[in-house]
Amino acid sequence: MARATANSDVTTEELKADLDSLRADMDQLVGDLSKIVQQSGESGVKAGRSAIEDGLDAAEEAPNQLRELIRENPLGACGAAIGAGFLGALLMRR
């Protein structure tokens, strides 16, 4: 970057050099910011994919867990089903 002078006699050539230097610095800054945004986007996509995979795994495992819970506590499962049916009937009646 061109250096600032204490002298107030700045030539147009010095101004052009300063502007060229400023443009180069801005181009570098925009390039760096673009890389940072791209990397952040990629990591966000990876995190999203991981969350989706975890959700799908949990959804696949849920029916098996429900079956196991019903086998372990059949009376509780019947009570929950009766309660849910009762609440559903109340909601549909209104």
10-25 pLDDT tens trace: 788 888 888 889 999 9
Of residues 10, 12, 19, the one with CA closest to residue 1:
19
Residue 4 included in any domain:
no
Which pLDDT value is given to residue 8? 65
Which residue type sits at 34?
S
Q: How confident is the model at residue 34 (pLDDT cuts 50, 70, 90)?
A: confident
Q: Is the pLDDT of residue 78 over 80?
A: yes
Other CB atoms within 10 A of residue 69 CB: 13
**Domain range for 69:** 12-93
CA 7 to chain centroid, in Å, comes to 52
Residue 30 included in any domain:
yes
Residue 47 included in any domain:
yes
Which pLDDT value is given to residue 10? 76
Residue 7 included in any domain:
no
Number of domains the chain is built from = 1
CB of 30 closer than 8 Å to CB of 37: no
φ/ψ (deg, to 5) at 61: -85, -25
Q: How confident is the model at residue 82 (pLDDT cuts 50, 70, 90)?
A: very high
pTM: 0.44
Which pLDDT value is given to residue 4? 55
